[in-house]
């Protein structure tokens, strides 16, 4: 996760879907993980990105410290089914917009990618569940709790949606942001500390390869920064903290409310610890380019590049499913 210094207007946005236009009211916004760990797989020109900015919690999911028994067996879905189910999770929502710069708002861009990928997956005979279909919070999220736990309730709703659907694979869709505008490219995160660790890695490797290839086939280029293990995305008091939607069951804690979300007047302060659940299927989180990089942002404003990235996501998912 990194902090965008300032949202900037874009002089020409002819190719930009209306949903991606930045409101002037959107200033600094945080997005998902800018990697701090070394890639675990080849495929990137990039090394470590800028360090996370303190206090900018992300809906990608700064996460949870795993419980002691968190690696317990995850039961395989036991239901006869002809069509696999893919869960697509467009990151962020509502006032938590993620990264925003150069005419791209991550919240809206993520949803657009999810809906593009859904269309392509349906055409391949795959069922799709999308965790949110509007600019608001994830479906099923309780909006009553403000601040830190509003974000956590939103993330928990995504996990529960995926599990209720008995998804075969879970892909959370984000784009990156960094205080360093030179950083660009695609990253994919997985969590080695949770069930399906090897499958999570395999999925991540499929996705990094397929998105890069799809961009190249369409005549676009950005670095492939590689695959990263998010199991210790952060360390807090000596405990590994992963990305929420990828990490094992456990607890999530916060000593401070999310500074970007104003608490309701007179509201009772929420507890500082919350039990979190885990998705019960292989999963990965993609960071499709850096919104904070002008060249990457231009790709994100390009309908052709966006469609290529969606094709890449779908190709990676289908390859992972053996389809």
In the complex, the residues that contact Zn ion under the rule CB under 5 A are 31-32, 60, 91, 98, 174
**126 vs 243 by CB, closer to Zn ion:** 243
Alpha carbon distance 198, 217 (integer Å) = 28
Minimum CB separation of residue 223 from Zn ion in Å reads 18
Minimum CB separation of residue 31 from Zn ion in Å reads 4
Minimum CB separation of residue 132 from Zn ion in Å reads 13
Question: For residue 129, how many other CB atoms are within 10 A of its CB?
Answer: 18
Question: For residue 93, how many other CB atoms are within 10 A of its CB?
Answer: 26
**96 vs 168 by CB, closer to Zn ion:** 96
**1 vs 65 by CB, closer to Zn ion:** 1
- Please give the structure tokens belonging to residue 122: 């349906």
Minimum CB separation of residue 109 from Zn ion in Å reads 9
Strand duo 85-90 + 273-276: pairing: unpaired
Alpha carbon distance 88, 169 (integer Å) = 9
**44 vs 98 by CB, closer to Zn ion:** 98
**31 vs 245 by CB, closer to Zn ion:** 31
**57 vs 65 by CB, closer to Zn ion:** 57
**120 vs 245 by CB, closer to Zn ion:** 245
**Rg, Å, the chain Cα set:** 18
**98 vs 146 by CB, closer to Zn ion:** 98
Segment 49-53 long-range contacts (CB within 8 Å, at least 24 positions apart): 49/2, 49/176, 49/178, 49/180, 49/183, 49/187, 49/225, 50/2, 50/178, 50/179, 50/180, 50/183, 51/2, 52/1, 52/2, 52/234, 53/1, 53/2, 53/3, 53/179
Q: How many Å from the N-terminal Cα to the C-terminal Cα in the chain?
A: 33
Minimum CB separation of residue 96 from Zn ion in Å reads 9
Alpha helices of 174-242 — where are they, by DSSP H?
197-217
77 Cβ contact partners less than 8 Å away, ≥ 6 residues apart: 166, 168, 280, 281
Minimum CB separation of residue 74 from Zn ion in Å reads 25
Which phi and psi (to 5°) does residue 30 adopt? -100, 150
Strand duo 85-90 + 239-241: pairing: unpaired
Minimum CB separation of residue 90 from Zn ion in Å reads 9
Minimum CB separation of residue 43 from Zn ion in Å reads 21
Minimum CB separation of residue 119 from Zn ion in Å reads 22
Alpha carbon distance 54, 58 (integer Å) = 11
**31 vs 128 by CB, closer to Zn ion:** 31
Distance of alpha carbon 3 from its chain centroid, rounded? 15
């Amino acid at each position: 996760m990194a902090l965008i210094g300032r949202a900037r207007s874009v002089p020409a946005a002819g190719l930009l879907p209306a949903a991606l236009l930045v409101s002037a009211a959107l200033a600094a916004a945080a997005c998902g993980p800018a990697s701090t760990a070394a890639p675990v797989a080849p495929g990137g020109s990039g090394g470590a990105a800028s360090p996370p900015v303190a206090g900018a919690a992300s809906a990608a999911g700064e996460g949870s410290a795993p419980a002691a028994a968190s690696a317990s067996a995850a039961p395989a879905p036991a239901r006869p089914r002809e069509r696999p189910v893919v869960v697509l999770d467009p990151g962020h929502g509502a006032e938590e917009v993620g990264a925003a710069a150069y005419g791209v708002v991550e919240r809206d861009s993520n949803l657009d990618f999810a809906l593009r990928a859904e269309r392509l997956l349906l055409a391949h005979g795959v069922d799709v569940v999308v965790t949110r279909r509007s600019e608001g919070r994830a479906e099923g999220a309780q909006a009553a709790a403000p601040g830190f736990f509003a974000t956590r309730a939103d993330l928990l709703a995504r996990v529960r949606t995926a599990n209720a659907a008995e998804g075969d694979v879970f892909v959370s869709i984000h784009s990156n942001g960094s205080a360093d505008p030179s950083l660009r490219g695609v990253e994919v995160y997985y969590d080695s500390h949770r069930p399906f660790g090897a499958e999570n890695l395999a999925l991540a490797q499929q996705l990094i390869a397929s998105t890069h290839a799809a961009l190249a086939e369409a005549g676009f280029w950005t670095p492939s920064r590689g695959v990263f293990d998010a199991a210790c995305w952060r360390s807090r008091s000596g405990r590994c903290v992963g990305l929420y939607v990828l990490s094992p069951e456990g607890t999530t804690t916060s000593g401070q409310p999310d500074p970007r979300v104003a608490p309701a007047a007179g509201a009772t302060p929420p507890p500082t610890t919350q039990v979190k659940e885990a998705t019960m299927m292989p999963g990965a989180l993609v960071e499709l380019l850096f919104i904070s990089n002008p060249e990457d942002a231009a790709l994100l404003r390009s309908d052709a590049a966006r469609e290529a990235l969606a094709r890449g996501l779908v190709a990676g998912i289908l390859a992972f499913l053996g389809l």
